Every structure is written in C-alpha cells, then in structure tokens.
Amino acid sequence: DAGVIQSPRHEVTEMGQEVTLRCKPISGHDYLFWYRQTMMRGLELLIYFNNNVPIDDSGMPEDRFSAKMPNASFSTLKIQPSEPRDSAVYFCASGSLDRGNGRLFFGEGSRLTVL
Amino acid sequence: AQSVTQPDIHITVSEGASLELRCNYSYGATPYLFWYVQSPGQGLQLLLKYFSGDTLVQGIKGFEAEFKRSQSSFNLRKPSVHWSDAAEYFCAVGAEANFGNEKLTFGTGTRLTIIP
C-alpha cells in the first residue's frame, strides 16, 4: 500500500487567497483526520471523517475553514480567505479499526505559509 | 476531557546513553496510549501503543514504554540512543470506546537532540 498522500507539500500564498489542501488516504481505511501543527499550539485535530462523513469538526478554527470528503479516496481542506495566522503544517492521517487497529498513518504534511 | 502533558520541551542526550521521555495523561477511564515520532519534514510514525495487558510495551527501533496507572504516566525509554533517534516525540491518548482511533489528543512534543 502507498502511504497517505498529501499535496501540495509546500504552499506560499498571500493573505486573502483561497488555499486547498488535498489528501489521499490509504486504501481501505475508513477514518480520515486533518491535523494542524504549529510551534505555539502543537498538533491540533481540526476535523475527522468516518466513512466519508464528518464526525467532529469542533477543532475547525472558524468558518474560513472547510473540509470535504466526496469519496473514500479523497479529501480536501480549504481555507478561504487565508490569513497569516493560518501558516502551519497541515497533516492528513488515516486509520481503520479493522486494519492497523489503533494506529494512525500520517502523510508527510503540507506546509502552508500565508504572507 | 482527555489531555496529555510532556513536561520536557527539549532533551539532549549523548549517543549511546539511555533515554527517558516523560508523558503524563489525564483521562477518566482506561486510556489508549501512544508514542509517535516525527523526523524533520516528515509525518508522524507510530513507535508503540498500549491498550491493555502487560504494562511494559515494546515498540519499533528498540523503544519501550511503561504504563503506570497510579502515576498517570506512560514514559518512553531506550537503553542506548543512536544518532538517528534525533527527532520530535509525541505522546498521545485516545478514548477507550473507540480503540484510540478517534480524537487522539497529542502532547506538545519533546525534541530530542543527540550529541556525539
């Protein structure tokens, strides 16, 4: 199996622009998570999906953030409009209760810089 | 609410020396506990996990961790570190009912530096 694939690896944008981060989970995994990592706040769970359905989005900072999972092999995290304080590394992770029980598989992250 | 505390932000250890990284958790029921490692520019990789049973768990790369309920701790240890162990280490706790897959709460991490 290929691992969790995220794109882009690096994104530099200007304040006010729309940013879309993409994630392809491991095939067969039914959970997908979006995390944000910053020096100040560490790793924060933004939202997670089970079987493509958003289960808990309480970690999404505000309405500027949205996430979708249109099918089992693809998810997006969108920020519109972006702000400098959104600069962080965004990780996607997938997992399954049946396969790799209790283990999350992380992508390599998307480093976002908002100028 | 569950929480994790990693009291050491940065630890420096000589190559070949022993290592212990501290982790304290707060959770109302039996916790599911994890240690993850993050190398620079990489995602997190699972080192080991504790769900139940033997309180001393073995992981990859020669790491082990001991669950101590009375101290609410899950410290990570390695008897002899290698230069390649330099990374950031995260302790995490998950909810019992969901085997830890849902809503893992991570600590703030401990950065490990290895000196020759």
Chain B: closest CA distance from residue A10 (Å): 11
Which one of B32, B36, B43 has the shortest CB-CB distance to A109? B43
* Torsion (CA) A76, A77, A82, A87 in degrees, nearest 10: -120
Of A38-42, A82-86, B17-21, B90-94, give the lowest mean pLDDT range: A38-42
Q: Could you tell me the sign of the dihedral formed by the alpha carbons of B99, B111, B27, A34, in that order?
A: negative
Q: What is the pLDDT of residues A18-34, one digit of tens each?
A: 999 999 999 988 889 99
Mean pLDDT over all residues of chain B?
Answer: 89
pLDDT at B102 over 70: no
- Contacts of residue A56 in chain B, CB cutoff 8 Å? 102-103
Q: Which residue of B has its CA nearest to A43?
A: B106
CA distance A44 to A60: 9
Mutate to test the interface with B, among A50, A104, A105 (most CBs of B within 10 A): A104
**Mean pLDDT score, A32-59:** 89
Chain B: closest CA distance from residue A79 (Å): 21
Report yes or no: A25 at the B interface, CB cutoff 8 Å.
Answer: no
Q: What is the pLDDT of residues A81-112, one digit of tens each?
A: 999 999 999 999 998 876 556 678 899 999 99
Choice between A101 and B16, residue whose per-residue pLDDT is larger? B16
pLDDT at A112: 97
Record: contact A102-B32, CB cut-off 8 A: yes
pLDDT at A70 over 50: yes
pLDDT at B99 over 50: no
pLDDT at B19: 97
Which one of A38-52, B52-66, B71-85 scores highest in mean pLDDT? B71-85
- Contacts of residue B3 in chain A, CB cutoff 8 Å? none
Distances (CA, A) of A76 to A16, A46, A49, B39: 19, 12, 12, 25
Report yes or no: A109 at the B interface, CB cutoff 8 Å.
Answer: yes
Choice between B2 and B101, residue whose per-residue pLDDT is larger? B2
Q: Compute the residue count for chain A.
A: 115
What's the first-to-final CA gap in chain B, in angstroms? 41
Give the DSSP H/E element, type plus range, for residue B87: strand B87-94
Beta strands (DSSP E) in chain A are 5-7, 10-13, 19-24, 31-38, 42-50, 53-56, 65-71, 74-79, 88-95, 105-106, 110-114
pLDDT band at B101 (very low <50, low <70, confident <90, very high): low
Q: Compute the residue count for chain B.
A: 116
Q: What is the pLDDT of residues B31-74, one digit of tens each?
A: 889 999 999 888 889 899 888 788 999 999 999 999 999 999 99
Record: contact B44-A104, CB cut-off 8 A: yes
Which one of B42, B44, B101 has the shortest CB-CB distance to A31? B101
pLDDT at B78 over 60: yes
pLDDT at A35: 93
